Structure 1
Amino acid sequence: MTSKTVLISGASVAGPALAHFLRRDGYDVTVVERAPTLRDSGYAVDFRGAAFDVLDEMGLLDEVRTHDTKMRGTALVDETGTETGRLPAEVFAGELEVPKRELTRILHRITEDEVEYVFDDSISSLVQDDSGVTVEFERGASRRFALVLGADGLYSKVRQLAFGPHADALEHLGLSGAGFTTADFLGLDRSGVLHQGNGRAIYAYGPHDGDRMAVSLSFATSSPALDRRPREEQEHAVHTAFADCGWVAPRLLRAMTEADDLYFSSSSQVRLDRWSHGRVALVGDAGYCAAPTSGMGTSQALIGARTLTRHLAASADDHRTAFTAYEAELRPYVAENQAKGREGARAFGGGATS
């Protein structure tokens, strides 16, 4: 084993971006992903601010722009569906929005020939010593790496193993919700519609894919416990929250029950005193999720990946120095985004505090 061997957990956005920059700097990179294949799910992701510089540095900006959803804004409606105002496209779509599956495919394509991808597996144990990390996997044989980087999202397995239980890192913002796609019976043409009030919100935009629209049904909750509960319990909670809601709520509740792409998640932030522990470090949502209501998840993932790899290169691969500099540079940016996430959760009816 050399000092240039790195294991990355997670093959969504932060993981492949890390892999790209690390390979460029001469690292031998392995990416492990618990999904059996490259994920083809997720609706749309947006880019803001310095994320464009990262895409440009990767040589991907022009290609990513070809997948622009060209969203045209969101109508605000009351309980009868009557429009009461409008929000500009930038509120939900940022400066550029693309389907997440397209970004994931692009990042995988530019790394697959030089990076080892291991799908359908996950890390089960991390044991560090002065010279490296011994990693055990749920399926594959144990291996040894110089560094392990967690880019595996809100419920990061790397964070759980190296830093402690999820409950110690997650701060619930008082909002949970179900997302799914259904027939675009609202006739949304690259636009969205939002109804909110009484601690709940209905947001739909489309067409997500042909004649379909993406739907989010969000409501106030006291904890993220439903994230790990069976689907029937999640659906019951959504039905209960929207039982007396008018407009198109009854039809959307029926569509949710029939949906084969339902996902349920809570708006939570990851709040840690440090983003590294020995030879293990966290990037993106795994280390400092700002919540979907911030609109900054993808941008943070890309900027975090570039920032960490830049400091590794500048420190001549001294991971302690690099991890410290990475965190010192990025924390103010993350703090701003997490403030936006809390503000966004409150706007959608959550109980987030400052």
Structure 2
Amino acid sequence: MTPSVLISGAGVAGTTAAYFLARSGWRVTVVERAAGVRSSGNPVDVRGPALPVARAMGVLPALREHATHADAMRVVDAAGRTIARLPMQASPDAVEIPRADLAAVLFAAARDHADFRYDDAVTALEPDETGVGVTFDRAAPQRFDLVVGADGLHSAVRRLAFAPEREVVSHLGVWVATLPLGGPSDDPRDVLMYNEPGRMVSVHPARGNALAALIFRGAAVPGMDHRDTAAHRRFVAAAYAGAGWRTPQLLERLETAELYFDAVSRVHLPAWTRGRVTLVGDAASCVSLFGDGSSLAMAGAHTLATALSGAPSDLGAALRRYEAEHRTRTDPKVRHAGRSAALIVPRSRLALAARNTAARLLTRR
């Protein structure tokens, strides 16, 4: 009998897992809360362990076709003068791509292999020794042999099967907001980055429709709803009051533009699997500030599918093998999260001066 799997989340991890699980003999259903393929255009990287996954899916040419045009990151001062210019990618094989395009390419590869159900969500799980009963917000209840939570940092599957979010997710003291600027950047090849102590502003050329990112330090806010966009706009505007460079114009755009906003957080779970429910991607582990989250999500989804294809009759052993292998990739990112934040958003003027000095030296080399 063909084993069945429900994947909650049609993002990077979910679509990648759907593709490989279906090809290894699973009957795959994917449920996604959003009404369609996700639209966030934030640039992400496909590199390292994600590149062989993309090759195996046959999507690498499509990813390169949709790649951004950014060649370098240019650090600027308040007057827009260049402090340093650094190459974007250490590896020539890496691909930087708007997240919306990555999601669309992965969905195109997986859509004929799985049943995708949009505008719905998991609301209850009833696991037992032989499967998991699933209740949905809209569809009729259904039973599956396995449930995979690929539904991001604020995972409903993790909350239902493991623990409340407040017990397993910790704020790392940094917030991220991104928004499209509705037109091309002044510099079509460079990402422009401006810093003040504790806050950063960048403009990315993307693929002709520039994107702004505002990354800043700040304590956790109890009760902050990750879906309350109006509150997010107010919070970001307050954090950037009085900031220089292009910030005033960006804050005007902030009032009406589509906004992505969230905390940089660490997910800490002793295990990613509980019975016949497992987690992958951001639901299981934290995201790197340097864009490795999507690459790790693809690699983790492929590792999960490979483990399950090798031992379909022993789910427990397969899921333990998946976690043991993929934690070797994610654990170093967790340990180095603070170092990444120090480079992107230095806390003090002294730390900012030291970062800029190091950037100048790298530019000269």
Normalization by structure 2: what TM-score? 0.89
Conservation of the 8 A alpha-carbon contact between 2:19 and 2:109:
yes
Cα displacement string for residues 177-218 of structure 1 (whole angstroms, at most 9, x for unaligned residues): 321111457502032111112100001111x353x3100112
1:286 Cα offset (Å) = 0.8
**Pair 1:311-2:313 in alignment:** no
Match of 2:238, SS state, is helix
Residue aligning to 1:191: 190
Distance 1:243 1:93, change over 3 A: farther
1 CA distance for matches of 2:143 and 2:202? 46
1 CA distance for matches of 2:162 and 2:272? 9
Distance 1:3 1:26, change over 3 A: closer
Aligned-partner residue type, residue 97 of structure 1: E
2 CA distance for matches of 1:287 and 1:169? 10
Matches within 5 A, 1:24-35: 24-35=23-34
Residue aligning to 1:161: 160
Which of the numbers 196, 221, 230 marks the counterpart of 1:232? Answer: 230
1 CA distance for matches of 2:312 and 2:184? 57
Distance 1:350 1:35, change over 3 A: farther
Distance 1:311 1:92, change over 3 A: closer
1 CA distance for matches of 2:92 and 2:199? 21
Residue aligning to 1:10: 9
Moved over 6 A (4+): 91-94
Identity of counterpart residues, as a percentage?
A: 37
Conservation of the 8 A alpha-carbon contact between 1:51 and 1:303:
yes
1 CA distance for matches of 2:38 and 2:312? 34
Residue aligning to 1:257: 255
**Pair 1:69-2:73 in alignment:** no
Distance 1:80 1:7, change over 3 A: same
Larger mean CA deviation between 169-178 and 321-330 belongs to 169-178
2 CA distance for matches of 1:93 and 1:201? 27
Gaps of 5+ in 1: none
**Pair 1:271-2:268 in alignment:** yes
Cα displacement string for residues 52-96 of structure 1 (whole angstroms, at most 9, x for unaligned residues): 111111222223222221311111112222211112112799921
How well do the aligned residues superpose, as a CA RMSD in angstroms? 2.1
Conservation of the 8 A alpha-carbon contact between 1:92 and 1:295:
no
1:168 Cα offset (Å) = 1.4
Cα displacement string for residues 210-259 of structure 1 (whole angstroms, at most 9, x for unaligned residues): 3x310011211111654536333322222222212122111111111132
Gaps of 5+ in 2: 348-365
Conservation of the 8 A alpha-carbon contact between 1:47 and 1:94:
no
Residue aligning to 2:150: 151
Residue aligning to 2:342: 346
Aligned-partner residue type, residue 145 of structure 1: F
Normalization by structure 1: what TM-score? 0.92
Conservation of the 8 A alpha-carbon contact between 2:69 and 2:207:
no
Residue aligning to 1:44: 43
Match of 1:20, SS state, is helix
Cα displacement string for residues 288-331 of structure 1 (whole angstroms, at most 9, x for unaligned residues): 1234x042111111110111111112223311001111111111
